[in-house]
Amino acid sequence: MTPLPAIRPERLLDRLAAFAAIGRTAKGGVDRQALTEGDRAARALLARLARARGFALFQDAAANLFVRREGADSGLPPLLVGSHLDTQPTGGRFDGALGTLAAFELLEALEDAGLATPRAVELVAWTNEEGSRFSPGCLGSQAFAAGRLAPEWLEARAPDGARLGEELAATLAALPEVAMRPLGTPVAAYLELHIEQGPVLEREDVPIGAVSAIQGTRWLEVTMEGAAAHAGTTPLAFRRDPMVAAVAALHHLQTRVMPEDPAARLTVGRIRAEPGSINAVPERVSFSVDIRHPDAGRLAAIEAEVRDVCTASATAQDCTARVAVRFDMAPLAFAEEMIRAVETAAAKAGLASRRLVSGAFHDALFLARVAPAGMIFVPCRDGVSHNEAEDVEPRFSAAGATVLLGGALELLGL
């Protein structure tokens, strides 16, 4: 009887440390933004580790990177496990990396045990989950689910001016020996381990979250336009100042939306004035609005409120306002059998679990469009994420990887 595979926690922690060193920031976080040299270095390390274990490697036109351990019937769609390697500009060591490296640990545990699985098991590292360098987020998993890379995405520009098309080509070219495969190959099921990025599990001292749903997300880009003018000579009555309009709109949004609806999340993370000169009234002010809500109707209502407030604030300053939707993901409920597979795996490992809704979006949102998808959460310290102080206790990293392996065995019927 082949012994059941087991996670080797110290090996997982070593891998996490090795990847955390790629793009490490002075404060001990990670800056490994999508399609940068750091992202390419992390992909190269994963490819090296995979080749050393004899796993097959593939990538697709969206630069999603796959590591495949063959199964008894190579014609069957694989079980897919994974997450992302790209990070926020001041990101943490675990957001994305934990799920990706726990998936690699899963493949190694299967290999160490010599366990023949009925179908292949594949790890995936999705391209540009974060969306902070290039919009939209979840670009790789969206392209995979749609079976196509939207041409307009290739024109996306990073704050440093880089064009996504070139960065994508450079990333593909950085792994020339990795075989290409079509976008959107069939998948039997998808399972992702991720840190909760919120306070619930830690506060309740529960090691495993069986994610029941993911709330909706909508990203808006607001552009207010007025007239550039001299800071010293232009009296108030002659000004058409988009900064005054933007500040009025932001004040309304920040003092009304979340206080009036505790389930709503509204974040303005980026604001830019052009030409950005200290002694010129700006011609243009643009800012980002990240809206989250578990209810699709409320998400739409908040977008409408943003539009109304921005138009009114701009008009009051004899300016104009444009609001573009950059990213739009409806709330998603995971299938009951996938939530149960996570709960069963946790119970078999003797770990307490509880269901919860994800406040963050994830690649699993798009995988759920093409296959049964599920997510496992583990606690992160103080619920902090998208912050260099992000931290996870080693016991929770091991617990998450154990449940990922257990969930995979459940889904494989083993």
Could you tell me the smallest distance in angstroms from the CB atom of residue 304 to Mn ion? 27
Could you tell me the smallest distance in angstroms from the CB atom of residue 133 to ligand HGY? 12
Could you tell me the smallest distance in angstroms from the CB atom of residue 76 to Mn ion? 27
Task: Return the number of the residue (125 or 360) whose C-beta is nearest ligand HGY.
Answer: 360
Residue type, 224: M
Name the nearest CA neighbour of 361 among 189, 144, 132: 132
Q: Annotated binding site for Zn(2+): which residue ranges?
A: 84, 95, 130, 194, 386
Task: Return the number of the residue (320 or 387) whose C-beta is nearest Mn ion.
Answer: 387
Partner from Mn ion, ligand HGY, none contacting 192, C-beta within 5 to 8 A by type:
none
Composition of the chain by helix, strand, coil, percent to 5: 35, 25, 40
Q: Which residues lie near ligand HGY (CB under 6 A)?
A: 129-130, 137, 360-361
251: left (phi over 0), alpha (psi -120 to 50) or beta: alpha
CB-based contacts of 144-150 (< 8 A; 24+ apart in sequence) = 144/60, 144/62, 144/64, 144/183, 144/184, 144/366, 144/367, 144/370, 145/184, 145/366, 145/367, 145/369, 145/370, 146/184, 147/182, 147/183, 147/184, 148/183, 148/184, 149/61, 149/62, 149/183
Task: Return the number of the residue (130 or 167) whose C-beta is nearest Mn ion.
Answer: 130
CB-based closest residue to Mn ion? 362
Could you tell me the smallest distance in angstroms from the CB atom of residue 121 to ligand HGY? 25
Partner from ligand HGY, Mn ion, none contacting 137, C-beta within 5 to 8 A by type:
ligand HGY
Task: Return the number of the residue (55 or 361) whose C-beta is nearest ligand HGY.
Answer: 361
Binding track, positions 286-325, relative to Mn ion; x by CB under 5 A: ----------------------------------------
Site for Mn ion in 103-132 (CB under 5 A): 129
Partner from ligand HGY, Mn ion, none contacting 140, C-beta within 5 to 8 A by type:
none
Could you tell me the smallest distance in angstroms from the CB atom of residue 14 to Mn ion? 21
Could you tell me the smallest distance in angstroms from the CB atom of residue 91 to Mn ion? 7
Q: What are the CA-CA distances from residue 318 to residues 158, 234, 241, 284, 307 (Å)?
A: 30, 15, 8, 13, 16
CA geometry: angle 348, 211, 199, nearest 5 deg: 105
Binding segment for Mn ion (CB under 5 A), chosen from 87-95, 247-255, 291-299, 345-353, is: 87-95
Task: Return the number of the residue (69 or 362) whose C-beta is nearest Mn ion.
Answer: 362
Partner from Mn ion, ligand HGY, none contacting 96, C-beta within 5 to 8 A by type:
Mn ion
Report helix, strand or coil for 4: coil
Record the tokens describing residue 411, joined without a space.
């889904």
Q: Does 96 bind Mn ion (CB under 5 A)?
A: yes
Task: Return the number of the residue (248 or 266) whose C-beta is nearest Mn ion.
Answer: 266
Phi, psi of 298, rounded to the nearest 5 degrees? -70, -35
Task: Return the number of the residue (110 or 195) whose C-beta is nearest ligand HGY.
Answer: 195
d(CA 249, CA 124): 41
| CB distance 197 to 292 below 8 Å | no
Report helix, strand or coil for 24: strand
Binding Mn ion (rule: CB under 5 A), the pick from 86, 95, 196, 225 is: 95
Could you tell me the smallest distance in angstroms from the CB atom of residue 116 to ligand HGY? 36
Beta-bridge mates of residue 210: 355, 376
Q: Does 39 bind Mn ion (CB under 5 A)?
A: no
Give me the helix-helix angle, 394-412 and 9-20, nearest 10°: 110
Could you identify the residue written with the tokens 């019927």?
A: 413
Count other C-beta atoms under 10 Å from residue 260's C-beta. 9
Which residues make Cβ contacts (< 8 Å) with residue 307, sequence separation at least 6?
Answer: 323
Q: Annotated binding site: which residue ranges?
A: 84, 95, 130, 194, 386
Record the tokens describing residue 72, joined without a space.
């008894």
Binding track, positions 335-374, relative to Mn ion; x by CB under 5 A: ---------------------------x------------
Could you tell me the smallest distance in angstroms from the CB atom of residue 198 to Mn ion? 12
Task: Return the number of the residue (95 or 105) whose C-beta is nearest Mn ion.
Answer: 95
d(CA 317, CA 276): 19
Q: Does 133 bind Mn ion (CB under 5 A)?
A: no
Residues within the interface to Mn ion (CB under 5 A)? 95-96, 129, 362
